[in-house]
Every structure is written in C-alpha cells, then in structure tokens.
C-alpha cells in the first residue's frame, strides 16, 4: 500500500493518520488467535495489570510467532512506514496493548519518543507507530486519545517519576515519563483531542512525539491494539548503559524485505 500525497501531508500536519478497515475479518481472526496463544504463556515480556492477573501488554511477539513476524513485512504496514521515515526500516518495537473489559487500566498522557531517547539512546524520532485494531474501538472501551499537532513541539522533556527502577516502569499504569496537567491543557488548547474510532482491522499511524493516552475501560467490551514501531536503519540507537531486553528493543536492525501475498503466506 502506498500512502497518497494528501495522506502524507495529513500525517505531517496532524501527527496521525487513520485508515479504517485495512485488514479483513479473516486476517484479524488469525491475529486474535495468535494473540490468545501468546498471552497464555508466562514470560517476562507479558505485563499484567495491577490486579496481577489481567494481561496489560505483550512485547516482542514478532520474535517468537511467525504470523506476527510476517505482519511486520506486509506492504500495508511496511511501505507507509518507509515513506514516512524516508527509507529502509526495521522493527524497533512490537507490542500488543490490551484494555480488558471492566479491567483495562489507564495509560497516562505521554509521548513515546522520550522513552526511546532516554532509555535506548535513540538520537532522532525517525520512526513511526502503526497500530492495528484487533477489536472494534468505540467511545466506550477506552479509545486512544491523541492531541493533534502536538508532535510539532518535539520531545517535551519531563522529570522521570519514581518507580521500581526496571523496564516495567515504561509499560505500567504509572509511566516513567508522563506529561503534566499544565502541559496537556496547553497542548489541547492548541490542537484539541481526537479519539480515532472504527472497526477491527483499522490502522492508526502516529508520530512518536504525538501526545496520547487512554482512560480505563469500564465497558463490557475488550479493546486490544497491536503496535508495530518501525525505525530507520540509519537511526539505530546506542544504549547509554545496559540495553533493555530484546523483546522491548529489537536488536536485528537489518532492513525488512516486503512479504509477498497474504498474511498467511
């Protein structure tokens, strides 16, 4: 899939681009089953909510599951990523964020790039997030809220919150780097808030410096989203210390080759 010039201009201006129904029901069913299988395995890459039982996130799934690995090479995702970052790309991060019915917790307002710059040594935000909706996203089940045009402010440096000191501080409900109320009020005053909603199979493309967050899910409907972060092969980070686990930061930085055919190969 090739993004049109108007679509690229929308992304550059707003910091996000929403494409409904990019994957069909059969493909989403395949991804959902793979997600269930991965979530059933107790592994450090699986993060739980504060209740200790509800799955909050899975990381690095493309490293262990063939369907997820193939997904990252599909032209529908890889080609737009290459257009946006201006050249060959590799998978920097792969995660599945759950927001379980009645139990999915908050994601505080934040930007993604600050975690990668400070935690991994990424020099520039020459990367992009492509989010695949595995469930229908409505106003009720904790949609991702985004502040359009907030990425034009660059990385907003904030003081790290006190946590346990491990990589889990980057993925828990108590995020290491979250934006304060005054900053959010100012950004919203400039750009407003949007919450892209749509059917499962939709894709949201958003900038690593776009301010975003989500509320707890109080509804009886799950909200599961798969996020592939592509980075430029000329923007490989150099960790300032001990690198984070490979399931959080991929170490295979070779440019991805496009996959031919359907998701199933």
Domains and CATH numbers, the chain: 21-232 (2.60.120.620)
170: pLDDT strictly greater than 60: no
| pLDDT mean across residues, the chain | 94
For residue 161, the model assigns a pLDDT of 76
pLDDT in tens, 191-230: 999 999 999 999 999 999 999 999 999 999 999 999 999 9
For residue 155, the model assigns a pLDDT of 98
Tokens of 17: 């681009």
40-49 contact pairs (CB < 8 A, 24+):
44/245, 44/247, 45/245, 45/247, 45/248, 47/168, 47/171, 47/172, 49/100, 49/103, 49/104, 49/105, 49/173
pLDDT in tens, 134-151: 999 999 999 999 999 999
168: pLDDT strictly greater than 60: no
pLDDT in tens, 51-87: 999 999 999 999 999 999 999 999 999 999 999 999 9
169: pLDDT strictly greater than 60: no
* Placement of tokens 């003081």 in the chain: 159
Tally Cβ neighbours within 10 Å of residue 249: 22
CA distance 37 to 32: 9
For residue 176, the model assigns a pLDDT of 87
| H helix intervals, the chain | 5-14, 25-39, 66-71, 75-85, 113-120, 181-191
């Amino acid at each position: 899939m090739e993004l049109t010039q108007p679509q690229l201009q929308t992304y550059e201006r707003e910091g996000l681009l929403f494409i409904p129904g990019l994957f069909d029901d059969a493909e989403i069913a395949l991804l959902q089953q793979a997600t269930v299988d991965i979530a059933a395995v107790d592994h450090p890459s699986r993060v739980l909510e504060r209740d200790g039982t509800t799955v909050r996130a899975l990381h690095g799934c493309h490293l262990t599951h063939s369907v997820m690995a193939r997904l990252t090479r599909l032209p529908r995702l890889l080609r737009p990523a290459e257009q946006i970052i201006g050249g060959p790309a590799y998978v920097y991060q792969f995660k599945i964020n759950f927001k379980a019915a009645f139990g999915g917790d908050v994601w505080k307002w934040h930007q993604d790039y600050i975690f990668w710059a400070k935690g991994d040594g990424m020099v520039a935000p020459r990367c992009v997030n492509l989010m695949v909706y595995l469930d229908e996203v409505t106003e009720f089940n904790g949609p991702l809220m985004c502040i359009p045009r907030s990425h034009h402010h660059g990385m907003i440096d904030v003081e790290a919150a006190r946590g346990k000191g491990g990589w889990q501080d980057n993925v828990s409900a108590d995020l290491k780097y979250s934006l304060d109320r005054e900053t959010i009020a100012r950004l919203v005053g400039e750009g407003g808030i949007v919450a892209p909603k749509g059917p499962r199979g939709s894709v949201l493309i958003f900038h690593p410096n776009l301010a975003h967050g989500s509320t707890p899910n109080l509804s009886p409907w799950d909200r599961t989203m798969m996020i592939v972060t592509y980075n430029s092969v000329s923007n490989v980070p150099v960790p300032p210390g001990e690198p984070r686990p490979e399931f959080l930061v991929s170490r295979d930085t070779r440019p991805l080759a496009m996959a031919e055919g359907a998701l199933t190969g």
